[in-house]
Amino acid sequence: MEQLSDLISANHFGEILKQIRTMVALVGRDGSLVSWNPAFGDYKEKSLQAGNLQECFPEKERTKIDDALKANQRDHFVAELGIDDEEKTVFYNCSLIPLDNERLIFIAERLDSDTSLQEIVQRLNRQVKMFQVESESAKKIARNKQAEVDAIVAQADELSNMDVLTFLPNRRLIIKALKDEISRVERYTGPFSISVVDVDHFKKVNDIYGNLVGDEVLKHVAYQLRDHIRHPDLVGRYGGEEFLILLPSTNAGEAAEQAARLCKFVREAQVQVNAQLLKVTVSIGVAQYMPGIDTWDTLLNRADAAMYEAKNKGRDRWAVAK
């Protein structure tokens, strides 16, 4: 059977690039933009001053792009490309493919659901197994293949620590980060606080509107939390409708101020369900770590108790653990 690539002419290929929604761009080794298809052009209109690929990404993602360009080899990664028209953070499955003319092809396909993310994890795991077999049978190229294996394993590990619904760190990763932060505080001193956030009346939302709407509520709350905390802070999905925020170098009073702001942001940013707006609120429990008294789990228990105190006082509010 003849290969599809051999049967498509350059003109036909150009027409295909015009029609597909996947973003494709030709870039130089330094990331300079050479040419792109209409899908990439539509995205680039949001950053007209961008002269290179790195400037098309949010600032926190640019190091990832620089590293991929410097590696000068086929690379795959998941990256955030900003906010869509519904003010939701969007993620893309990206590829950089080196060409023979000192340029690279950049390809970005939007991840629309947790199913897409799971498919990527499965594909990465299949690639890991394939490369491991090749590494055993082809010693001459073992070093190059091992570098690819390490990169894929690292990405698969990163995705395994991500909650596939909210794109936040999952329970395993946020608890590990909590333990690490407590170890740092024990060694270097300084304040440290946490906040446990629970979505109010979440069971009622699922019962009335169904699980799909419940998922949208969780993604909505996750977006508000992630985009309205400070840069050093970290938020993860602790489980179910609960989220955990770590606040390094922060005392209980400062954490309470943040909790008040988060309650306000969640309350004011309503979720659209069909033709109506659904009001969502959260209850937050704040606790400051007490060296020599607390462990990571007692700290969590105190913050959890404060969260239930906030619920008992009427919800849509915060409380500080005693």
Catalytic residue annotation:
241
Instruction: State the chain's mean pLDDT as an integer.
Output: 85
Report the C-alpha gap between 31 and 231 in whole angstroms.
Answer: 27
DSSP string covering 285-318 = EEEE--TTT--HHHHHHHHHHHHHHHHHTTSSSE
The H or E element that residue 259 is part of is: helix 252-268
Total-model pTM: 0.56
Residue 165 domain-assigned (yes or no):
no
Consecutive H or E run containing 104: strand 103-111
Is-contact 175 164, C-beta < 8 A? Answer: no
Same structural domain, 176 and 315: yes
Q: Of the ranges 31-40, 233-242, 246-255, 279-288, which one carries the lowest mean pLDDT score? A: 31-40
Q: 3-class SS at 57?
A: coil
311 and 212 in one domain? yes
- On whether residue 136 sits in a domain, the answer given is yes
CB-based contacts of 295: which residues, under 8 Å, 6+ apart? 182
**259, 141: one domain:** no
Mean pLDDT of 59-85: 81
The number of helices, as runs of H, and strands, as runs of E, in the chain is 11, 12
Query: 94 and 134 share a domain?
Result: no
Residue 254 has pLDDT above 90, yes or no: yes
Residues 236 and 254 grouped into a single domain: yes
Same domain for 308 and 183: yes
Q: Which domain holds residue 307?
A: 171-320
Question: Per the domain annotation, does 296 fall within a domain?
Answer: yes
Token digits for 181? Answer: 């932060």
Please choose, from the candidates 117, 79, 77, the residue with its C-alpha nearest in 3D space to the C-alpha of residue 96: 77
Identify the top-confidence range among 7-16, 126-135, 219-228: 219-228
The answer on 97 and 124 residing in a single domain is no
